[in-house]
């Protein structure tokens, strides 16, 4: 991994794009938020907060492995959130 700064940017961009996709879905389908779409946005925000908290954690023994694990968690969360967007009716 290049840097912690790039990881923070990746988290911001990926989860921001997911939230934007939900808003676009809302505009295209219902014109307003639904309970399901709000739940996806809320989950993306919680995921963002949790990942940022892990990045800023102090006293980590193996930093490379720690950040590699955070990157893996980001990928898994993004995949799940995109799946939820695809299931919106």
Mean pLDDT of 33-55: 95
CA–CA separation, 57 vs 62, rounded Å? 12
The number of CA neighbours under 13 Å toward the Cβ of 1 is: 18
What is the span of the domain harbouring residue 45?
A: 4-87
* pLDDT reading at 1 higher than 60: no
Q: Name the DSSP class of 56.
A: T
Q: How many domains does the chain have?
A: 1
Query: At 83, is the secondary structure helix, strand, or coil?
Result: helix
Taking the model in full, what pTM does it have?
0.90
What is d(CA 30, CA 27) in angstroms, rounded to the nearest whole number? 6
Residue 58 has pLDDT above 80, yes or no: yes
């Amino acid at each position: 991994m290049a840097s912690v700064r790039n990881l923070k940017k990746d988290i911001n961009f990926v989860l921001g794009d997911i939230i934007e996709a939900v808003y676009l879905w809302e505009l295209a389908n219902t014109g307003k938020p639904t309970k399901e779409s709000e739940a996806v946005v809320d989950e993306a925000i919680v995921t963002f907060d949790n990942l940022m908290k892990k990045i800023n954690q102090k006293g980590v023994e193996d930093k490379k492995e720690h950040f590699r694990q955070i990157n893996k968690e980001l990928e898994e969360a993004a995949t799940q959130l995109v799946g939820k967007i695809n299931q919106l009716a």
